[in-house]
């Protein structure tokens, strides 16, 4: 069982899962949700056609849609995948603090450099 935990919590498995989730599972849901948000933003901005936001004759709704989709996807992936993964990794594979500290290593380097001159 410990080998399975190590497989799940180490390596690139979580990175691949995050990429798959972003690309596939949440893509359609977020797209429809952001289309709805863009329609509301367009109405609030006085757009004549729902889902279109014309600034200087250019429709900026697709850009606003992409920005909103990115923020939503990033939040979902961070809070539902990355944060739990990090906590589980810290719980099952705590950092080994038995080695020398950073200050001790730097002191050793300084002393060896001073001795070589």
Average pLDDT over residues 31-38: 76
Look up the CATH number of the domain holding residue 41: 1.10.1200
Domain that holds residue 43: 2-116
pLDDT band, very low/low/confident/very high, at 108 (cuts 50, 70, 90): very high
Place of tokens 């952001």: 34
Mean pLDDT along residues 18-40: 76
What are the two backbone dihedrals, phi and then psi, of residue 11, each rounded to the nearest 5 degrees? 90, -160
Query: Count of domains in the chain?
Result: 1
The string of pLDDT tens digits covering residues 73-89 is: 788 888 988 899 889 88
* pLDDT surpassing 90 at residue 107: yes
What pLDDT digit, counting tens, does each position of 94-103 carry?
776 677 788 8
Indicate the pTM of the whole model. 0.50
What is the dihedral sign for C-alpha 24, 30, 35, 41? negative
């Amino acid at each position: 069982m410990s080998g399975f935990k190590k497989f799940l919590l180490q390596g690139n498995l979580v990175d691949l899962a995050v990429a798959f989730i972003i690309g596939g599972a949440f893509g359609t849901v977020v797209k429809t949700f952001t289309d709805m948000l863009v329609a509301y933003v367009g109405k609030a901005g006085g757009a004549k056609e729902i889902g279109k936001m014309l600034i200087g004759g250019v429709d900026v709704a697709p850009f606003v849609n992409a920005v909103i989709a990115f923020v939503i996807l990033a939040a979902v992936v961070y809070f539902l995948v990355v944060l739990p993964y990090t906590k589980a990794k810290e719980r099952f594979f705590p950092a080994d603090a038995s080695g020398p500290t950073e200050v001790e290593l730097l002191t050793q380097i300084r002393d060896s450099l001073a001795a070589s001159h």
